[in-house]
Amino acid sequence: MSETTMLDPTSELSPVERQLLPRLEALGDATVGLLDISKPRGKEFLDEVQRQLEELGAKVKRYAKPTFARVAPKELTQKISSECDAVIEGLAD
C-alpha cells in the first residue's frame, strides 16, 4: 500500500485570473450605488459616503440587502449592475 500518492481534497480551483472591469475615469457622469448590508449604523456611514461622492459630482443610488447574514439576492445584484457604473458595499458595523 503506497502512501506516496494522495487525492486532492480541495475543489481544485485553478487560479483563474479575473479580468478587472474598466475603471471609472471620472465621477462626473457616473452613477454610484451604495449597498447597505443591513448592519447597525450602516446608514450613518453611507450617508457620509454619499455626501462626499455628491460633492465630487457623482449621482448616488442607495440599496440595502434584506439581511446581512445572507448573500445579496440575485435580483438585487442585477438591479445594481443595471443601474450603476460602480458600487460601494458597506461591510460590517
Partner 1 sequence: MDSLTNSTYSLIVKKSCPTCELIEPVVRALADTYGTSLQVYVQDDAGYLSELPQQADDTTLAFSYQQNIEIVPTLIRHATQAQSEQRLVGWDRQEWQEFTGLDQLGSDLISFKPGCGSLTEDPGMAEQLAVRFEGERLQARRVDVADAEDIMEACFDRGWSDGLPVVPPTPIRVMRMLAGTDLAPDESIGLVPPDHVNCTVEKVAINAVMAGCKPEYFPTVIAVVRAALQEKFCMHGLLCTTYFSSPVVIVNGPVSRHIGMNSGGNALGQGNRANATIGRALQLLIRNVGGGKPGGIDRATLGNPGKYTFCFAEDESDLDWPTLAMDRGFERDDSVVSLFAGDGVQPILDQLSRTPESLAKSMAASLRSVVHVKKFGMADATLVVCPEHRRVLRENGWNKSDLKQALFDELVTPGTELMSGVGGISEGMPEKLRGKLLSKFRDDGLHIVTAGGTAGMFSAIISGWVASGERGSQLVSQHVD
Q: Per-residue b/e over 12-47, b at no fewer than 16 CB within 10 Å?
A: eeeeeeeeeeeeeeebeebebbbbbbbbeebeeebe
In degrees, rounded to 5, the angle at the alpha carbon of residue 70 between the alpha carbons of residues 60 and 49 is 25
CB 38 → partner 1: shortest distance, Å? 9
Does 1 participate in binding partner 1 (rule CB under 8 A)? yes
- Our CB check for partner 1 shows the closer of 23 and 74 to be 74
Size of the site for partner 1 (CB under 8 A): 20
Q: What cell does 28 get?
A: 462626473
Does 6 participate in binding partner 1 (rule CB under 8 A)? yes
* Rounded distance between C-alpha atoms, residue 61 and residue 28, angstroms: 14
Return the residue of 20, 41, 71, 82 that touches partner 1, per CB under 8 A: 71
Does 67 participate in binding partner 1 (rule CB under 8 A)? yes
Residues lying near partner 1 in the complex (CB under 8 A): 1-13, 66-71, 92
